[in-house]
């Protein structure tokens, strides 16, 4: 589909060159608006979604505006939700920057925000299925992550190894080097992302087998 403009939602904590790199890759003459938020579970609210609707509106976004989300799972979840509801759906590109988002959150079209209730926060209670047009994985970006964030990504890779019975993934986790090594991690990301894609393609709306992906989540 022909686009008329681009709206980028990015995480303000990212090194600025990520966004610059991304805009260079876009190599487009289309008008680009950029809005940055500090990622984290606290942004997954309807209030933040409303703020984004206003940003889209004031930037002149139309049905043919492409939304690009650059960041971790909270940015892609919030941005995906906004993209799927603004003007009944904008086309979406996700550029995940955390390991967890690369192998899980950004793949498969789930998005959403949390619902605060008197009993506590209900995670992802409000959301849609809205498949991105493109998901770009750039493992070099993982170099800026802290060890805890990398570990939570490994947990998802282990999960994909278990549910797909992939010896490559399981061995990959067992033999994991202590230091972050992009050459070691890249093929594992590819396989883990393919496992997720394979499962989601067969059951996009979680009517059955996709529920396997909730192992360790629920
Ligand atoms: N993270 C679980 C799913 O996408 O279905």
Instruction: From 95, 127, 125, select the one nearest 111 (Cα to Cα).
Output: 127
Please indicate whether residue 73, judged by its CB atom, sits closer than 6 Å to ligand 1: no
What DSSP letter does each residue of 93-157 carry, written as one string?
EEEE-SHHIIIIITSSSB--EEEEETTEEEEEEE--B---SEE---GGGGGGS-HHHHHHHHHHH
Question: Does the structure show a pLDDT above 80 at 218?
Answer: no
User: Which atom of ligand 1 is nearest to 110's Cα?
Assistant: 4
Please indicate whether residue 108, judged by its CB atom, sits closer than 6 Å to ligand 1: yes
The per-residue pLDDT for range 45-95, each reduced to its tens digit, is 999 999 999 999 999 999 999 999 999 999 999 999 999 999 999 999 999
pLDDT at 24: 86
Q: Tell me which H or E stretch contains 25.
A: helix 16-26
Q: Is the pTM of this model over 0.75?
A: yes
Q: What is the mean pLDDT of residues 98-114?
A: 97
How many other CB atoms sit within 10 Å of the CB of residue 23? 16
Q: How many residues in total does the chain contain?
A: 218
């Amino acid at each position: 589909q022909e686009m008329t403009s681009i709206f980028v939602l990015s995480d303000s904590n990212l090194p600025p060159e990520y966004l610059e790199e991304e805009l260079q890759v876009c190599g487009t003459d289309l008008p680009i608006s950029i809005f940055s938020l500090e990622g984290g579970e606290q942004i997954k609210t309807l209030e933040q979604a409303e703020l984004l609707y206003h940003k889209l509106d004031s930037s002149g976004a139309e049905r043919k505006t492409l939304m690009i989300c650059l960041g971790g799972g909270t940015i892609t979840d919030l941005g995906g939700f906004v993209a799927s509801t603004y003007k009944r759906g904008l086309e979406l590109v996700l550029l995940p920057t955390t390991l967890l988002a690369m192998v899980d959150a950004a793949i498969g079209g789930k998005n959403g925000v949390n619902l605060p209730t008197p009993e506590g926060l209900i995670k992802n209670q409000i959301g849609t299925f809205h498949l991105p047009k493109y998901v770009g994985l750039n493992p070099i970006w993982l170099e800026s992550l802290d060890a805890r964030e990398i570990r939570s990504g490994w947990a998802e890779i282990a999960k994909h190894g278990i549910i797909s019975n992939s010896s490559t993934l399981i061995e990959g986790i067992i033999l994991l080097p202590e230091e972050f090594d992009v050459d070691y991690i890249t093929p594992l990301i590819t396989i883990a992302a393919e496992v997720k894609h394979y499962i989601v393609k067969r059951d996009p709306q979680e009517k059955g087998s996709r529920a396997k992906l909730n192992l360790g989540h629920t």
